């Protein structure tokens, strides 16, 4: 108990300090045009070059602080992580490094996907799931990790969703007597809380692919480890409820892009956080709504793991996800106009040459047309 409080406090303070240091470093190096260190963040369309610039090294602080505090407890023997949790942490650091390389350099998407898939194969417990179940679990980890990337596109959302999910998963791991995994998840929750001290809207630093992939991978892998030996119904229900927000976002994006005829794998501002912003919510409002939705799903998942509610409670969460996906199907959503690009204006009508105006006008290169009274929509008759 005492170690848990000390570890959480250390992770929170260390992440906050590292984030401040990395922000200062990124601003110094990115001021001269350093590629990848700064990302454009806008709350409304702005001309190119006038976006709000946010450093992308916040994920390095989250991953570094989580690894340092977690390894310190394991090395000292105060809170041993165990072989499965240690393997998960190593795989998570590999994913974080791959995300950091993507933040700083133009890494091909296929290479990023390969790194995450390889780490997922390393973290899956095949002795409990078997080879077919382990392969399906690895695919699910890759999908959830990729879905977490979209949460960092709005200030404070990734930290809020990650903190709530990590705390709920820590309780699930403690109920399964997985003390090492519970300690690591508590440290991750504290690290994300320290990151929120700088990522609260308006964010002064962003997690980038490094932080979003690390948090998503660790949480998804922890869900698999916690529910690997549980009955199929309760395990699937709790796992789905704990990741309901990212599942709803993925369903919304897939259905919306398919209905609109857009490429499914091409990035676009059509995620759930973008739609909430276009609906009129502030950045703080988006963070609160996403946090409350995550809390509701995590509460259901924790209740299933603790035996307080049945596995059928997950159907309510699934129904909410289907409603969100149906909303995307009925209204795919129009992408916002690119910053700095004005809509194409219609050619102005000019009077017909030759003689007095008789109520007809001529468009350039077009036939004579009768003018329209814009005030009341009536046609002017000479």
Residue 191: the pLDDT is 95
- Residue 55 — φ and ψ, nearest 5°? -65, 150
Residue 39: the pLDDT is 60
- What is the C-alpha to C-alpha distance for residues 16 and 376, in angstroms, rounded to an integer? 60
Model confidence pTM above 0.95: no
Residue 369: the pLDDT is 46
Residue 152's pLDDT band (boundaries 50, 70, 90)? confident
Contact yes or no for 155/282 (Cβ under 8 A): no
Q: What is the CA radius of gyration of the chain?
A: 25
Residue 68: the pLDDT is 94
Tell how far CA 164 is from the center of its chain.
14
- What is the C-alpha to C-alpha distance for residues 109 and 100, in angstroms, rounded to an integer? 13
- Work out the percent of the chain whose per-residue pLDDT is above 70: 78
Residue ranges of E strands in the chain: 38-41, 52-55, 350-351, 361-362, 368-369
Q: Is 126 helix (H, G, I), strand (E, B) or coil?
A: helix
Least confident of 110-114, 276-280, 378-382: 378-382
């Amino acid at each position: 108990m005492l170690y848990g409080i000390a570890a959480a406090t250390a992770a929170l303070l260390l992440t906050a300090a590292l984030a401040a240091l990395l922000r200062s470093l990124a601003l110094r190096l990115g001021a001269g045009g350093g590629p990848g260190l700064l990302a454009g963040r806008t709350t409304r369309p702005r001309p190119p070059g006038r976006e709000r610039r946010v450093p992308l090294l916040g994920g390095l602080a989250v991953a570094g602080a989580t690894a340092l505090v977690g390894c310190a407890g394991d090395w000292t023997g105060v809170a041993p992580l165990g072989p499965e949790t240690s393997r998960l942490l190593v795989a998570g650091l590999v994913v974080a490094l791959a995300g950091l390389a993507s933040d700083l350099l133009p890494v091909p998407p296929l290479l990023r996907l390969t790194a995450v898939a390889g780490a997922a194969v390393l973290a899956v417990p095949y002795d409990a799931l078997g080879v077919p179940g382990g392969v399906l679990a690895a695919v699910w980890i890759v999908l959830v990790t990729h879905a977490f990337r979209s949460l960092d596109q709005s200030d404070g959302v990734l930290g809020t969703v990650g903190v709530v999910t990590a705390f709920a998963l820590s309780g699930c791991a403690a109920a399964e007597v997985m003390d090492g995994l519970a300690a690591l998840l508590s440290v991750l929750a504290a690290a994300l809380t320290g990151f929120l001290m700088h990522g609260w809207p308006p964010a002064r630093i962003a997690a980038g692919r490094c932080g979003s992939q690390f948090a998503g991978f660790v949480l998804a892998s922890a869900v698999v480890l916690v529910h690997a030996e549980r009955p199929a119904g309760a395990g699937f229900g709790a796992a789905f409820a704990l990741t309901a927000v990212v599942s709803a976002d993925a369903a919304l994006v897939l259905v919306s892009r398919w209905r609109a005829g857009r490429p499914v794998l091409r990035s676009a501002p059509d995620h759930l956080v973008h739609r909430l912003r276009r609906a009129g919510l502030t950045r703080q409002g988006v963070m609160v709504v996403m946090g409350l939705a995550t809390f509701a799903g995590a509460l259901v998942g924790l209740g299933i793991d603790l035996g307080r509610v049945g596995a059928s409670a997950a159907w309510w969460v699934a129904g909410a996800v289907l409603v969100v996906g149906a909303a995307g199907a009925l209204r795919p959503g129009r992408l916002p106009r690119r910053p700095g690009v004005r809509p194409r204006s219609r050619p102005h009508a000019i009077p017909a040459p030759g003689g007095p105006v008789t109520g007809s006008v001529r468009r350039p290169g077009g036939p004579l047309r009768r003018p329209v009274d814009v005030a009341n929509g009536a046609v002017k008759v000479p």
